[in-house]
Amino acid sequence: MNTYLVGGSVRDQLLGSPIKDKDWVVVGSTPEEMIAKGYQPVGKDFPVFLHPKTHEEYALARTERKTAPGYRGFVVHAEPDITLEQDLARRDLTINAIAQADDGSLIDPFNGQQDLKDKVLRHVSPAFTEDPVRVLRIARFAARFDFTIADETKRLIQQMVAAKELDHLVSERVWQELVKALATDKPSLFFMALRGTGALASIFPEIDRLFGVPQVPKWHPEIDTGIHVMMVLDQAAKLSDEITVRFAALCHDLGKGTTPADVLPQHIGHEARSVELTASLCQRLRVPKDIQSLALKVAEYHTHVHLLFELRPATILKVIESLDAFRRPERFEQFMLAGEADFRGRPGYEKLAMPEKKAFKCCFLAAKAITAKPFVEAGLQGPAINEALRKQRIQSIKQVMDDIKQS
Ligand code: ATP
Ligand code: MG
């Protein structure tokens, strides 16, 4: 049997990026032989094994044939006579279909190296259309490497969209790929790549809808809401590594996509609609609770951040309480990072400091410094403790804001 390094590890090595996990393909072997050599079988749907020592993944060379729609519709054929070239031909993109032999030589039947040089994402064969996950993968690679999608591949994806192939995507996979896309340095490229092929409307209709919707034109006639949200997302990626913050930035203005004409151009009430649309997006993708809950708070209260100096102290406290920030101070930080990304996500604001940032933090710290202990010691009981605590917190927030406004 012969083994070759394949896929992402060869690609990343040629790009000079760090290699995450090594994938191997094995030609001329059988499951029985692999097991006899101590490899541990792990594949449910196809023959994949873990190396007894390195625990890296070794897959028997295989071909795949689509026989029915959906995920289970593939017939896998892995026999010792399947060649390396046949295995490479079932892969999604030319840059992912390069193999490396033990002696370091490259096997590159689809000219993946040239596409790497040209920064192009190109499908290997027309079978690309058989798996809708590939549309998400290609957009994710567009974001990760800042590559463009080849015209002929774009056309294939457009066909997939028209044939409603993307309806077969399961939510777990969409979320998985979205998380990886959000982890890139410039996640907007993922959404712009999807938009450029028409896939955005099928996969994330609530984001697609934002394009062409005027952003409050009094302030920013030059951009629409879609562009604003993309800018906010990229700013969030600069400000924080956390998926939680980045996802909240993505969702914060979703309600602007469904603003009724009579409350345009100010988008009055868009926060409540953002909450609704974020909740349904999260439900559809089964977004983890913690990520979802910050996104909902940012959708509801992001305007409050920018209007801080006009808010009553009691309202400031309400926002902080609703974040559960006294128990979980990191939630306050995440909320403010999303707010700052929103502030910076406009032309000309990218490098500015948000004036409300420090003030809001001072309010939070002043309120947090007040605890229930003295009220309990003074003999207060039951709801009276909470009442006194809130009263004092509001007083402290008022003091902070008065001091700031005077200075
Ligand atoms: P990453 O760096 O995100 O791991 P990757 O390309 O290595 O990217 P893997 O999911 O690890 O992605 O897959 C390894 C290889 O398997 C890919 O490089 C590609 O050749 C092939 N592959 C993975 N998923 C698909 C798919 N949906 N369709 C076709 N080929 C795929
Ligand atoms: Mg990989």
Ligand 2 centroid to 65 CA: how many Å? 22
Give CA separation, 47 vs 23, 43, 97, 173, 189, in Å: 13, 5, 19, 21, 34
CB 82 within 8 A of CB 61: yes
> 23 in ligand 1 pocket by Cβ < 6 Å?
yes
Which of 156, 250, 140 lies closest to 193, judged by CA?
Answer: 140
> 64 in ligand 1 pocket by Cβ < 6 Å?
no
Ligand 2 centroid to 114 CA: how many Å? 20
**Mutation pick for ligand 1 pocket among 19, 48, 92, 179 (CB with most ligand atoms within 8 Å):** 92
> 173 in ligand 1 pocket by Cβ < 6 Å?
no
> 134 in ligand 1 pocket by Cβ < 6 Å?
yes
Ligand 1 centroid to 164 CA: how many Å? 23
| 349-372 b/e (C-beta count within 10 Å ≥ 16 → b) | eeeeebebbebbebbbebbeebee
Q: Of all protein residues, whose CA lies closest to atom 16 belonging to ligand 1?
A: 7
CB 264 within 8 A of CB 214: yes
What's the CA gap between 240 and 1, in Å, rounded?
A: 46
pLDDT value for 269: 86
Ligand 1 centroid to 232 CA: how many Å? 29
Tell which atom from ligand 1 comes closest to the C-alpha of 180.
3
Ligand nearest to the CA of 24: 1
**Cα angle vertex 213, ends 210, 214, to 5°?**
130
What's the CA gap between 298 and 366, in Å, rounded?
A: 22
What percent of the chain is helix, strand and coil (3-state, nearest 5)? 55, 10, 35
Q: Of all protein residues, whose CA lies closest to atom 3 belonging to ligand 1?
A: 8
Residue 61 carries which DSSP code? -
Give CA separation, 118 vs 106, 134, 145, 348, in Å: 18, 20, 12, 32
Dihedrals φ, ψ of 276, to 5°? Answer: -60, -45
The residue behind tokens 């809808």 is 209
pLDDT value for 214: 85
As given in the structure block, the two tokens for residue 254 are: 């979703």
> 123 in ligand 1 pocket by Cβ < 6 Å?
no
pLDDT value for 71: 65
N- to C-terminal Cα separation, the chain? 77
Ligand 1 centroid to 372 CA: how many Å? 54
**Mutation pick for ligand 1 pocket among 48, 86, 91 (CB with most ligand atoms within 8 Å):** 91
pLDDT value for 44: 80
> 239 in ligand 1 pocket by Cβ < 6 Å?
no
What's the CA gap between 14 and 72, in Å, rounded?
A: 33
Task: Please give the biggest Cα pair distance in the chain.
Answer: 84
Q: Of all protein residues, whose CA lies closest to atom 2 belonging to ligand 1?
A: 8
Ligand 1 centroid to 236 CA: how many Å? 27
Per-residue pLDDT of the chain (407 residues; tens, 9 = 90+): 899 999 999 999 999 999 888 999 999 999 999 999 999 999 787 899 999 999 999 999 999 988 877 666 788 899 899 999 999 999 999 999 999 999 999 999 999 999 999 999 999 999 999 999 999 999 999 999 999 999 999 999 999 999 999 999 999 999 999 999 999 999 999 999 999 999 999 999 999 999 998 887 667 778 899 999 999 999 999 999 999 999 999 999 999 988 888 877 788 889 999 999 999 999 999 999 999 999 999 999 999 999 999 999 999 999 999 999 999 999 999 999 999 999 999 999 999 999 999 999 999 999 999 999 999 999 999 999 999 999 999 999 999 999 999 98
Ligand 2 centroid to 384 CA: how many Å? 58
| 294-312 b/e (C-beta count within 10 Å ≥ 16 → b) | bbbbbbbbbbbbeebeebe
pLDDT value for 217: 65
> 96 in ligand 1 pocket by Cβ < 6 Å?
yes
